[in-house]
Chain A
């Protein structure tokens, strides 16, 4: 029968081993050779776009790469789906955008800010998501094929 000492060894040993494997896998998957995000394309404009994405809590309604709040459309492939002009119009609108009566906050962004957001979406658009990019936005995929 298992003793308390053995149970403790199982806990401490198991934790240590799995933690070390986890760190090893993290180092491996974040190494330059394994990069799937094209990080060399993260320009200052893309970084500013990401800051705008965060400071306005866009993820509080939308999802990106499947992460967010499921209240507003998934935006991973929004560049393919809607195009630059539409995105800029929504972000620069001084009044609330209301597709199908669901309201978006009126961000009234400047041209420069809207461009930074577009650059951010363009960078996201090209990330290799292990196949999810084809499922998450079938409309974008169809549009590309047509």
Chain B
């Protein structure tokens, strides 16, 4: 750790871990409900559990991205964060808005729009919170001694993510227009600007962990984020095939979303090549595992599994089935959760001074979480394919199909247990590092 103010990142990561734990709890509630055990229905009905599960995902990832920015930007800009106090205000307000939203979901107070369930009055608080965050990051960056490509790409991703939140706040009487602009937020976040954030964090980690020249890494970063936008922006069309808008999206969405895996493939090749080119001297092996793992798993989850159902000819059958959950879980895990784990694994020893670089607990956490998530993806996939065949081809009634595929949710629960064990070990490792200290500053 080179700057005292970088310590604020620790608390954003701690909030991330807390919210992730809660997300897993609600995931289990949903898994058990699908398996026929919905004893909590009167207190936490499925729609509550789902809104909490997906919104916690978004908030813990955002908290992780913000932590990453608070750690990376001062080091890249060679400047202390302009106000640590305001960063803590932003952290607390983020946590309060998150808690208010989650409590609201249990009291039937929400917007009922997939992934954007936060009610509009709270949306305004989110906007204020994000503006404060962006203000702190931008002022730090522009007051800094240098403006690196890594810092600019990361900041650009965060800025665009904030701007793209706005179309989701517009009210429409038409369900078609509502869906259309909801995807401006959701798709252009996860298959657009969040990849800029991921690319920025990945680039920072590769520079630090491999020792490869910054110029080489940042040149390829531009190519990758270029490919991301080139395919991802018009790839939004794959959400417009069957929601009541013009057929032109079948062609445009089909072609450009089929190109989307290229960006992820480039990212995976980039990470592996930089590792091979590098000196392999950095002792933090766990951080390297998560970094390279993120690039590879995101290619499989977001790239390949996304491609598996993105063409209109396939999507007409898979749209609105558990096949989407298959792709969604591995994509979010690989691209975003693992990159947050990577920056945590890299920065934690630097902030706390405790160098748990290659512990067996850390390795177990990595492998159990990944094997568990792959098992979950397979469970969703088998359930999804069976659902498509029975419901869409054989014309069996929805609920009868649900009973037929129930067994796969038991497998899902077992795999989720394995995954959660890995996450628990990661969190234990997080806690064992202790809190950040100024002594770590001197040690670096």
Contacts and interface: CB of A to CB of B under 8 A. Distances in A.
B432 interface: no
A42 B173 contact: yes
B279 interface: no
B48 interface: yes
Interface stretch (B133-141, B224-232, B330-338): B224-232
A93 interface: no
Given A7-B223, A14-B229, A74 B179 contact: no
Contacts of B246: 28-29, 34, 36
Contacts of B63: none
B245 A36 contact: yes
Sorting the interface of chain A by its residue count into under 10, 10 to 19, 20 to 34 or 35 or more gives 35 or more
- By DSSP majority rule, is chain B's interface helix, strand, loop, or mixed? helix
A83 B105 CA distance: 30
B399 A25 contact: no
A103 B47 contact: no
Given A71-B33, A135-B392, A139-B397, A11 B222 contact: yes
B399 A102 contact: yes
Contact of B247 (A19, A99, A130, A142): A130
A56 B112 contact: yes
A73 B320 contact: no
Interface string B172-201: 011111111000000000000000000000
A65 B233 contact: no
Contact of A19 (B38, B233, B319, B324): B233
B243 A67 contact: yes
Contacts of A10: 222-223, 226
B94 to A, nearest CB: 23
A54 interface: yes
Contacts of A136: 242, 319-320, 392
Interface stretch (B121-129, B248-256, B416-424): B248-256
A54 B114 CA distance: 10
A32 to B, nearest CB: 12
Interface string B35-53: 0101001000111101100
A124 interface: yes
Contacts of A89: none
A100 B403 contact: yes
A127 interface: yes
B241 interface: yes
Given A37-B174, A135-B317, A55 B244 contact: no
Nearest to B110: A57
B189 to A, nearest CB: 15
A144 interface: no
B320 A63 contact: yes
A135 B316 contact: yes
Interface string B398-425: 1110110000000000000000000000
Nearest to A18: B233
B438 interface: no
A14 B219 CA distance: 15
Contacts of B75: none
A50 to B, nearest CB: 6
A138 B316 CA distance: 13
Given A4-B215, A29-B248, A57-B47, A132 B242 contact: yes
A120 B176 CA distance: 12
B321 interface: yes
B226 A7 contact: yes
Given A4-B215, A100-B400, 4 more contacts: A50-B174, A55-B108, A55-B112, A60-B47
Interface of A: 2-4, 7-8, 10-11, 14-15, 18-19, 21-22, 25-26, 28-30, 34, 36-37, 39, 42, 46-47, 50, 53-61, 63-74, 96, 99-103, 105, 120, 124, 127-132, 135-136, 138-139, 142
Interface of B: 30, 33-34, 36, 38, 41, 45-48, 50-51, 105, 108, 110-114, 117, 149, 173-180, 215, 218-220, 222-223, 225-227, 229-230, 233-234, 236-237, 240-250, 252, 256, 316-317, 319-322, 324-325, 387, 392, 395, 397-400, 402-403
23 contacts: A10-B223, A14-B229, A22-B233, A30-B177, A34-B245, A39-B174, A50-B178, A56-B108, A57-B117, A60-B46, A60-B47, A63-B320, A65-B320, A67-B179, A69-B50, A71-B46, A72-B398, A73-B398, A100-B403, A101-B36, A135-B317, A138-B395, A142-B395
